[in-house]
Structure 1
Amino acid sequence: MRNFDEIYQLAVARKGEAGVLESLLHPKSQAEIAEMPDDRFLALMTKCIFQSGFNWKVVEAMWPGFEAAFKGFDIGRCAMLHDEDFGRLVSDVRIVRHGPKIRAVQENAVFLSDIAREHGSAGAFFAGWPTENYVGLLDLLQKRGSRLGGNTGQYFLRFSGIDSFILSQSVVNRLMAEGIVTKAPTSAKDKAAVQAAFNTWREQSGRSLTEISRILAVSID
């Protein structure tokens, strides 16, 4: 496994230093995440779920309709959706009428309500999660959330501003080139190896998971 500075230089050689820097995203501070209202986490979960396997631009264009249909994603109200509400929502032309994904809004509202009850707020929970165990957070989203496994959970965390890496094909290609994994990581062993590599690169570079992830992505085809 290369030192992170070597990987950064590979990215610079491919994109030029300005190009590398322009590609970087920076996570929010823990204080900013802690202050985010619970409804914004549910909204972002929902957007990522509906964009999965669908045209992102269509969902984005329809988003004001989603906000209206789900009453601003208030987690208390969404957690209490009943059959009559689902009947109305699957016929609501303001949103993408996908029954299982609509059901996931309620299930994730319950999940976030539980998190808020346990930790004071969803923001406090996410802000307090240790970066060095990011893969543990992904596992928790998959187990306790609804339709938040795989890339959906990763994009939710990234769009929430939480320090994160996304296992895009480019990132996986770099991880394979470094001998960390031999394929997209799905097993607990491979996920632990990926986390360990990111932790090492954080120590070497002082950069966030988000920045490291973007640099890995542009360092290879």
Structure 2
Amino acid sequence: MALDYGWLHDTVRRRFDSDAAMEAFLPRALAPDELKGLGDDRYLSAMSRRVFRAGMQHSVVDARWTAFEAAFWGFVPETLVLLTPEQIEGFMQDERLIRHRTKLQTIPRNAQFILDIRQEQGGSFGAFIADWPGTDIVGLWRLLARRGARLGGRSAAGFLRLVGKDTFLLTSDVVARLVAAGIVDRSPSSQRDLQRVQETFNELHQASGRPLCQLSAMLSLSINPRF
């Protein structure tokens, strides 16, 4: 089955008082040049913030992130790839931080991931993210899960959303609409189901010209008007 964009637009539009109100509500992704303009330190910071957000209230993590930025010297990958186990233990004593050893250990590992991509691609990590096609965003999720530290599940999409890369999110409301439309019969986890979801978003994008993040929000709003 397929989702009809005209139906989706009209359903969501009824949630708002005007076209302008709907457009103002929908999220925006960064343009490729903007993603390329972000330093690789910003990508490592966002990866780390997403790792710490997993299983915690986002507001708790965000409230401490200024302290994380100071403690980890601005998240420069070339610096943090050199963190030693002794330094990690030192961070475990820092009351400004969220003292979760396993998550702290992901910081040098993800710094190495970023440096590896830079060496392989011959450019910045931001350029690698910017150039990845939206028609295969689930492929980028897979790569992040496979090569990054604790970036599986929803964390890959959450990280991409943090940095501004256009991506959809598989929230419970988005999944509910996909199930209702017959695209999948449960929260997608298999590669087959994820490919079906990707194809659905590709079709909606072709019909509307809208970025994936807006289509994702619209699918959610079609189920839950309080999204």
The within-5 A match list for 1:106-117 is: 106-117=108-119
1:28 aligns with 2:6: no
1:39 aligns with 2:41: yes
Match of 1:198 in 2: 201
The within-5 A match list for 1:4-83 is: 4-18=5-19, 19-83=21-85
Letter in 1 for 2:68: F
After TM superposition, give the deviation of residue 22 of structure 1 in Å.
Answer: 3.3
Q: Which runs of 4+ in 1 moved over 3 A?
A: 14-20
Match of 1:215 in 2: 218
Match of 1:187 in 2: 190
CA deviation profile, 1:106-160 (whole Å, cap 9, x unmatched):
1110101111112211011001101100000000000000111111111110111
TM-score, length of structure 2 as denominator length: 0.94
CA distance in 2, matches of 1:165, 1:153: 11
CA distance in 1, matches of 2:154, 2:28: 19
Preserved contact between residue 30 and residue 127 of structure 1 (Cα < 8 Å) = yes
CA distance in 2, matches of 1:57, 1:144: 27
Letter in 1 for 2:26: L
Identify unmatched segments of 5+ residues in structure 1: none
Q: Given the alignment, which residue of 93, 96, 105 partners 2:95?
A: 93
CA distance in 1, matches of 2:186, 2:124: 37
CA distance in 1, matches of 2:3, 2:42: 38
After TM superposition, give the deviation of residue 17 of structure 1 in Å.
Answer: 4.3
CA distance in 1, matches of 2:193, 2:146: 18
CA distance in 1, matches of 2:115, 2:16: 44
After TM superposition, give the deviation of residue 13 of structure 1 in Å.
Answer: 2.6
Letter in 1 for 2:159: F
% of aligned pairs identical?
38
CA distance in 1, matches of 2:175, 2:120: 35
Preserved contact between residue 3 and residue 204 of structure 2 (Cα < 8 Å) = no
Identify unmatched segments of 5+ residues in structure 2: none
CA deviation profile, 1:15-47 (whole Å, cap 9, x unmatched):
454553233111101011011100000000111
CA deviation profile, 1:25-73 (whole Å, cap 9, x unmatched):
1110101101110000000011111111112112111111100111110
Preserved contact between residue 27 and residue 217 of structure 2 (Cα < 8 Å) = yes
Preserved contact between residue 12 and residue 219 of structure 1 (Cα < 8 Å) = no
Moved more, 116-125 or 193-202: 116-125
Q: Given the alignment, which residue of 138, 143, 165 partners 2:141?
A: 138
CA distance in 2, matches of 1:195, 1:110: 29
Letter in 2 for 1:52: A
Preserved contact between residue 27 and residue 208 of structure 1 (Cα < 8 Å) = yes
Match of 1:166 in 2: 169
Q: Given the alignment, which residue of 168, 175, 178 partners 2:178?
A: 175
CA deviation profile, 1:54-103 (whole Å, cap 9, x unmatched):
12112111111100111110101111111211111111112100000000
